[in-house]
Structure 1
Amino acid sequence: MLTVPEAIPPLSSLPLNESDPPNSAWGLWGTGPDSALGSLNYLTDELVARTVKEEVRTGERVGLNLPLDFFDPPLLGRAGFEQKVIDKDPLVVNDDVISFNTQGSSQWDSLRHFAYQQQKKFYNGTTQSQIHEGPRTSINDLQSWSTRCLAGRGILIDYISYAERKGIQIDHFTPHAVTLDHVKAVMEESKIESRPGDVLFLRTGYAEAYAKLSTDERVKVAGVREWTGLAQGKATTEWLWESQFAAVACDAPGFEVRPPTEKEWHLHPILLAGWGTPIGELFDLEGLSKMCKKNQRWSFFFTSAPLNYTGAVASPPNAIAIM
């Protein structure tokens, strides 16, 4: 049974153990099997049951998964999607075999994806050698998530819609920073109140902008390692920690802006390696935005079933939002 600590310590008290990396919360969830879930421990049965009753009203639903072959050529030098359709002649039957990088399209990053670079430690002190000591180790992989799946309340910060109304110009393929003030302004305007255990979704418009690119422009963008995302900083990190999100996600290649506005507060190591908080990237948030605008409500019930296999570093989310 998942348990939530009675009190969450302030960010200023991190790390919980003096010898651990900066801002890490190793041990917050104890040392049992559920500790591997990190902040997904917020998604208790009670929270899920309450969220279904409160958030599912119309029955409308939308998938949050971009096509596996959406990015062509693939971003960041990753392997592209391949499919082979197999004719099972003499039977009039087809099979297909696909190959893809699990981070090539919509994805969850597992807690074995990104470490504290200086200390070379993943979540709960896991080392690279522990992950690679066998052909398929399970430490910090996605299998504990996929066994229970993710379910709970999602909230959408529709930044791109806000920016368009306010006349804020965005080049999605440059380091445009979405500040904490921007996020709070969107929440106030949309009457969004976050709750512990929410899954935070940030719509920057990146995926929508990519869809409008020409073939030549897509080739150029494939090699660009800059993009729009949440601005890093102490105040942002404090807000994320105090909000007690179960997970965070966006529609860009990284949840946070790249290059970072403040390298000291680079969120990938803090979220993944420090807090055990899943990061979702390249989610399809276009249909969700339309559904939220139609209902004038920016909270919803959210489910996700990551792939189930030993040693997964990342996975398509297989995610659905239900209004």
Structure 2
Amino acid sequence: MQRWKHRPDGSNWGRFGPDDELGTLNHIGPDQRRAAAAEIREGLAFCLSLPLDIPGTVTIHPRRKPPRLQPTFLGDTPYINYPLENVAAGLQDVLSDDQVLLSTQYSTQWDSLAHVGALFDADGDGVAEPVYYNGFRAGTDVEGQTEGSPHGSFARRLSVSAMAQSGVQGRGVLVDLLRAFGPDRRIVGLDDLLSVIAAQQVEVRQGDILMLRTGYAEALWDMQSAPDPERLDQTGAVLDGTDEALKTWISDSNIAAIAADNYAVENPHLSPDDCCFRLPLHHHCLFKLGMPLAELWYLRDLAGALAERGRNAVFLTAPPLRLPGAIGSPVTPIATI
């Protein structure tokens, strides 16, 4: 059933079917996975996740908190180094078991398509309502907290669970903005991006996951013993979400997703003189295209290995948690070359 009469200009709503929850991940099919597997030449694997307790002492988002790890309990008994004492049965087992409370988007993460919606007149009745990619609705498909709900707020549709089922496995291509522009803050539009792609001889194909190295996550890693929030705010390149040409290129490229090592991928747009979105690239990608975004990936080791070999493509595996209802997810991406 089609949920909308009007769709945003330039959007992918309906392109992959009326009930689609994967968006541009549909660009990754068997052919793309086989081509990605051809990038494995040496069998070297690189973990692209920060430790999930970083940012740590540097606060970059006031709502998101570091993970709290603790034992599981049976009554008041914590199950850490717990002996299963049963002399008669001769048991000698010692068990440890734990649980975690975490913000799903605190560290290395995926944004699901339920992360950013917009007020948009999808019904064509002249009244804007809160909706998400493909016309999924706030309050029904993405629920708010209701009295007695055991889950709080959660996404019945567009959650990371659908992404996880797809595998999120294909060809990743690295664009090293840190190597091109250095560690200072730079607002990157289409001209800058294409100049680096050309200089580094990056071939961007349909279904690729575009990985952007800016140095931000590396600075987070290095700052843990001496955090400098002001310096961090001036670290690394960010995409210019107000650049219409850049957004058109993202649409036309048919890439599957964008994964950056920085916070938010784009430059948060705060000018009161401009309309209408604080995160215009999030609006374009998540809401209009159905293109997942990833943040705070750790790319230093992979970038060094690729530069030594004159390469920029990898076989990438990066599924989120298959956690029904979750709007974001921590992820441990693995790049194999």
TM-score, normalisation: structure 1: 0.83
Matches within 5 A, 1:218-233: 218=228, 228-232=237-241, 233=243
User: Aligned residue for 2:65?
Assistant: 79
Aligned partner letter, 2:178: I
User: Aligned residue for 1:50?
Assistant: 35
Aligned partner letter, 2:188: V
Matches within 5 A, 1:1-323: 19-32=6-19, 35-52=20-37, 54-73=38-57, 74-77=59-62, 78-85=64-71, 86-91=79-84, 92-117=94-119, 119=128, 120-130=130-140, 131-132=142-143, 135=151, 136-164=154-182, 170-171=184-185, 176-213=186-223, 217-218=227-228, 228-232=237-241, 233-259=243-269, 266-323=280-337
- Inter-CA distance 278–186: structure 2 relative to 1 (3 Å threshold): same
Q: Does the 8 A contact of 1:42 with 1:197 survive in 2?
A: yes
Report SS of the residue matched to 2:175. Answer: strand
Deviations 1:273-316 (A, max 9, x none): 11110000001111111121121101111111210121010111
Q: Does the 8 A contact of 2:178 with 2:237 survive in 1?
A: no
Runs of at least 5 residues in structure 1 that lack an aligned partner in the other structure:
1-16
Report SS of the residue matched to 1:30. Answer: coil
Deviations 1:52-108 (A, max 9, x none): 1x2111111101111110111442111221111442423432222221101000000
Runs of at least 5 residues in structure 2 that lack an aligned partner in the other structure:
72-78, 85-93, 121-127
- Inter-CA distance 122–221: structure 2 relative to 1 (3 Å threshold): farther
Give the distance between the partners of 1:125 and 1:84, measured in 2 at CA.
40
Q: Find the structure with the greater CA-based Rg.
A: 2
User: Aligned residue for 2:90?
Assistant: none
Report SS of the residue matched to 1:284. Answer: coil
Superposed CA RMSD in Å reads: 2.5
Report SS of the residue matched to 1:75. Answer: coil
CA deviation after TM superposition for structure 1 residue 216, in Å:
6.0
Q: Does the 8 A contact of 1:76 with 1:225 survive in 2?
A: no
Give the distance between the partners of 2:101 and 2:331, measured in 1 at CA.
17
User: Aligned residue for 1:10?
Assistant: none
Q: Between 118-127 and 208-217, report the one with greater CA deviation.
A: 208-217
Q: Between 288-297 and 225-234, report the one with greater CA deviation.
A: 225-234
Q: Which has the higher helix share?
A: 1
Report SS of the residue matched to 1:23. Answer: coil
Q: Does the 8 A contact of 1:146 with 1:306 survive in 2?
A: yes
Report SS of the residue matched to 2:131. Answer: coil
Give the distance between the partners of 2:311 and 2:12, measured in 1 at CA.
33
Aligned partner letter, 1:141: S
Q: Percent of pairs identical after alignment?
A: 29
Aligned partner letter, 2:317: T
- Inter-CA distance 230–308: structure 2 relative to 1 (3 Å threshold): same
Give the distance between the partners of 1:260 and 1:300, measured in 2 at CA.
35
CA deviation after TM superposition for structure 1 residue 258, in Å:
2.0
Give the distance between the partners of 1:127 and 1:221, measured in 2 at CA.
40
Deviations 1:26-48 (A, max 9, x none): 1011225xx21111001112221
Aligned partner letter, 2:53: D
- Inter-CA distance 208–225: structure 2 relative to 1 (3 Å threshold): closer
